[in-house]
Amino acid sequence: VVVDALRSAAARASEIQAGDGILALVSKGVRTDIRSVEQFNRVVGALELGQTVTLLVLRGETQTFVPLRTLER
């Protein structure tokens, strides 16, 4: 899954950049490899509000971990 654009202020404030490839999401110590946008949306939709997760992203030829906190209401 490749990040196309960052729409929300919270997304723009994160370390995620347009063009990053999202390879996996780590939540509560469990890694889920991301294979499609639909799967990513399903996994993110099941997260608790305010939960911290880590994304494994591919930026150019480098893999890096990016921590994120889900939005709170």
Retrieve residue 34's tokens: 């991301």
Average pLDDT over the chain reads: 83
**Confidence tier at 10 by pLDDT (50, 70, 90):** low
Helix, strand, coil share of the chain (percent; to 5): 20, 40, 40
Q: SS3 of 10, please?
A: helix
How many Å is the Cα radius of gyration of the chain? 12
pLDDT digits (tens, 9 = 90+) for 20-71: 899 999 999 999 999 999 999 999 889 998 888 999 999 899 999 988 887 6
